Structure 1
Amino acid sequence: MADEENHPPSSTLDLEVNLPGLFRPEFSVDNRQEAEKIAYSSDFSLISCSEEVVYGDEDKDAPITKIRDARPHQDSPLTEDDAASFFHKKGFCLFPQNTKVKRWNEDYLKGMVFGSDITKVYSPELESIIRNYLLPEYHVISVDCPPAVLRRGPSSRNNFYGTGVHQDYGLSLEDYKNNLKAYDFSGQAAKEVQKKFDSDQVCGVMVINFWRPIGGYTKANPLRSKPLAVCDPAFVDNGDTVHTALDATSVGGLKGKQTDQMALKYSPQQQWYYYPNMTDDEVLVFKQFEVWKDDSMDKREALPVRGVFHTAFVDPNTPEGSPPRQSTECRVQVFIGKRKEEDAAEEKWTPPAPLWPKDGSEWEC
């Protein structure tokens, strides 16, 4: 392990907080594929085991977790190439990106039928980042960007924050497909994923989250309320993950279905980071899921942890009266092929034109 990872640079903005939702280290887990998942109810409380297995806000023995300011770990000033290098190393990065999106569509059906700024503007922007910076050394077979984003904050469809350490898609391809089934009214999404994954061209699949503030945040007036903390997956053991499920109807899914997610047991070896004072021109990029054909598919408990655990948290330095966070996240599914030859890796992908109306006006949807 690199010396920097054992002794990461410190910052005056490093924090020590009680992260919500961590399981106690003595909790026994069974991470086999066939094992029963720990169920949560619609209010995110545990229903299949005692809540004493999770640290509560008032527990005097709750561990204090150090959350490092990640900015000193990336070169300054922030550049695309440096951000991509950090993404390869940590599974997350802060990426500079001045988007042309004007309207952050939340309606998936409307976006599919009529299109929106997300499909016509944001999707090509993100595909360019993925192909040219995050995965330039691979043949990227397909980039599947959703027609809408998940917004959080006042006036959004999700006026709550993901406060509780979690990872959204699990470890195995079966985990990922089960999660898709919990939301898919057509019943085709999981089948399509398996079909693409089985293609001779495909070597692996990854889900990349593009998380950004959208509240008019600037360097003079940055995001201060409820930032996102992310955990370096290189410091998370499979045995510290907890296979969990959430009632899908509580989060807009199908009746009788459960999501397929993970929680985390506390371990002092885990390394947490955050990016303080984010602006609208910065996007936090992190892996939510990653699996390859040469993984040991028959043993979920042997799979490496590649998805980034994360949570919103209360920054103790947040000024009193700071407005609630306004943010979006866009989860992009990427099917990855073989590595390119060295000369091909330098070729840049150019998005199709036009990305937005030529007269500068907004799309109707």
Structure 2
Amino acid sequence: MATSLAAPLAPEKLEMVSASLGFTERGTEKLYFYTFEPPEGVPQTNLAIREHRVTIANARPIAGQLSLDLEGFALVPHRTAVRDFWDEAQTLALGHPEAAEIVKAATGAARIVVFDHTLRRRTGDPDRSPHAPRQPVARVHVDQTVRSGPQRVRDIMGDKAEALLSRRAAIVNVWRPIRHAAQDHPLALGDARSIDPADLLPSEQIFRHRSGETYGLAYHPAQRWHYIPDLGLDECILIKCWDSDEAVARFAPHSAFDDPTTPPGTPPRESIEFRTIAFFD
């Protein structure tokens, strides 16, 4: 199993919910997923997802102890100046600088580059459906891998990348609800110290003009899961998606899930995630 600097959190001492998460089955072929209509005769994906029932601990009582470098995720209070995240101009002008400030304060990094953001509104459509917003991702995944993390830095930073990669760099997502609290389909977050690196399964993500790589996660009963219920508009979750430093948490698997305690009539989840690169001196 993955080594750690401290013992994993003890979810058995916290309130728990039982829910299904989608895990990736191991395969003999290179795993892939097309984000658009694939060539004729080629399946959209060869990922096989199997649901497993897991217990997910309410991390609210220990939120102040969560650490990006230990568990791989953290809860941060933050009041945004953005009034409408669906307004691209506001999100770029205000949301991106806010995300940089949040990650810089949480990590102590010398420089933060915000390179992307994704808005989601749950409608029940398949993700990436035409004319529908992006949907919550209902399978356990990590946005980057040991290969794609450095490549993303090269893609974004160009000629400066190799000098920056000679020092520590990390990709951190800033995830927050918009319009209302995230009671519907919150995020389950895997304690990085309970994840065996051998269970992280790379999958090629094929776009029209480039390809990337993400991790799926094979199920193991030793994995520990947490969530922050009722995440408010003045809160964000930070998620470690890659870190060049092998002595800290490098990957925090996560997934949307159907929380059985969500009250009937709760509005569908709306959220945004900002993707950032933290560069350290």
With normalisation by structure 1, the TM-score equals: 0.63
Higher relative strand content: 2
User: Partners of 2:249 and 2:104 in 1: how far apart?
Assistant: 23
The aligned counterpart of 1:325 is 269
SS of the residue 1:199 aligns to: helix
User: 1:181-192 to 2 correspondence within 5 Å?
Assistant: 190-192=154-156
SS of the residue 1:289 aligns to: strand
User: Partners of 1:89 and 1:224 in 2: how far apart?
Assistant: 26
Aligned with residue 19 of structure 1, among 21, 39, 53:
21
The aligned counterpart of 1:171 is 146
Kindly indicate whether residue 36 of structure 2 is the aligned counterpart of residue 89 of structure 1: no
Contact 1:106/1:151 (<8 A) preserved:
no
The aligned counterpart of 1:316 is 260
Kindly indicate whether residue 81 of structure 2 is the aligned counterpart of residue 122 of structure 1: no
User: Partners of 1:229 and 1:248 in 2: how far apart?
Assistant: 26
User: Partners of 1:304 and 1:46 in 2: how far apart?
Assistant: 35
SS of the residue 1:145 aligns to: strand
Change (3 A) 1:99 1:38: same
Aligned with residue 175 of structure 2, among 206, 211, 225:
211
The aligned counterpart of 2:40 is none
Change (3 A) 1:125 1:89: same
Kindly indicate whether residue 117 of structure 2 is the aligned counterpart of residue 149 of structure 1: yes
Aligned with residue 53 of structure 2, among 52, 64, 83:
64
For residue 37 of structure 1, what is the amino acid of its counterpart?
A: K
Contact 1:228/1:310 (<8 A) preserved:
yes
**Structure 2: runs of 5+ lacking an equivalent:** 38-42, 124-130
User: Displacement, 1:195?
Assistant: 3.5
User: Displacement, 1:42?
Assistant: 4.8
Count of aligned pairs between the two proteins: 266
User: Displacement, 1:258?
Assistant: 3.3
Larger radius of gyration between Structure 1 and Structure 2:
1
Q: What are the Cα deviations for residues 205-244 of structure 1, in whole angstroms up to 9, with x where unaligned?
A: 1111111111233xxxxx3211011111111122111111
RMSD: 3.2
User: Displacement, 1:283?
Assistant: 0.5
User: Partners of 1:320 and 1:225 in 2: how far apart?
Assistant: 10
User: Displacement, 1:157?
Assistant: 5.9
The aligned counterpart of 1:299 is none
Kindly indicate whether residue 234 of structure 2 is the aligned counterpart of residue 245 of structure 1: no
For residue 145 of structure 1, what is the amino acid of its counterpart?
A: V
Aligned with residue 223 of structure 2, among 270, 274, 278:
270
For residue 10 of structure 2, what is the amino acid of its counterpart?
A: H
